């Protein structure tokens, strides 16, 4: 029988062209999630030479318009990203729903000693609608890119808006896979 979970897994597998590894955090906020929730870890593949972590079930059985799933890219496999996405999914289901263009305070570096301790929920510009749009039971669910950013970049988004932040990413060629990247907001940043 086809369910939200099985259809979403099929959606991801069709896009990446490989099977993902099912992972669960095993601690923390899992009891506040849909019982079938998990994270899929996709290894480097024909689409991308990087690891991808995707939520499966973050918006299972939601009745409002905040129907999203998240994914984050990484230069390496790292279990901390399972925790990151699990916490985001728990926040989405139990606090305030997350949606496109929102920012999230991670509260710690996204990887290693990164300066990026926030995340920006974005349209998946690298992938387009084939990954972004998942249809199930007459509803459209957006698979959104979780981009690690710094607090100053988040503050820039709040002050100048989403379009200016995305333009900054483009102008400065955001190195989204580099945990050691410097903040794009500096003394010479566009104001």
SS3 content of the chain, % helix, strand, coil (to 5): 30, 25, 45
Name residue, tokens 């950013």. Answer: 149
**What is the rounded CA–CA span in Å between residue 41 and residue 73?**
10
Please tell me whether residue 88 adopts helix, strand or coil conformation: helix
Give Cα 122 distance to the centre of its chain: 8
Read out DSSP for 124-154? -TTT-HHHHEEEETTEEEEEEEEEEE-HHHH
Write down the pLDDT at residue 62.
Answer: 85
Biggest CA-to-CA distance, the chain = 56
Write down the pLDDT at residue 29.
Answer: 66
Report pLDDT digits (tens) over 57-67.
999 988 888 99
Write down the pLDDT at residue 191.
Answer: 38
Residues of the chain with pLDDT under 70: 28-30, 187-191
What is the token pair recorded at 156? Answer: 């820039």
**What is the rounded CA–CA span in Å between residue 120 and residue 104?**
7
Report pLDDT digits (tens) over 122-141.
999 999 999 999 999 999 99
Q: Which residues pair with 169 in a beta bridge?
A: none
Closest to 88 in 3D by CA, of 76, 109, 71? 71
């Amino acid at each position: 029988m086809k369910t939200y979970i099985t259809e979403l897994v099929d959606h991801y597998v069709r896009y990446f062209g490989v099977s993902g590894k099912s992972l669960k955090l095993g601690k923390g906020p899992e009891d506040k999630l849909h019982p079938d929730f998990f994270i899929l870890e996709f290894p480097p593949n024909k689409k991308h030479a990087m690891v991808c972590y995707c939520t499966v079930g973050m918006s299972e059985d939601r009745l409002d318009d905040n129907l999203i799933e998240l994914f984050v890219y990484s230069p390496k496999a790292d279990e901390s990203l399972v925790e990151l996405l699990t916490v985001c999914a728990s926040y989405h289901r139990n606090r305030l729903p997350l949606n496109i263009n929102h920012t999230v305070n991670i509260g710690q570096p996204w990887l290693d000693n990164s300066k990026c301790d926030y995340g920006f929920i974005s349209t998946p510009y690298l992938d387009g609608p084939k990954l972004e749009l998942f249809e199930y039971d007459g509803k459209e669910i957006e698979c959104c890119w979780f981009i690690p950013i710094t607090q100053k970049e988040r503050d820039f988004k709040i002050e100048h808006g989403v379009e200016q932040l995305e333009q900054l990413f483009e102008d400065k060629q955001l190195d989204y896979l580099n945990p050691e990247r410097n903040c794009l907001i500096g003394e010479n940043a566009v104001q």
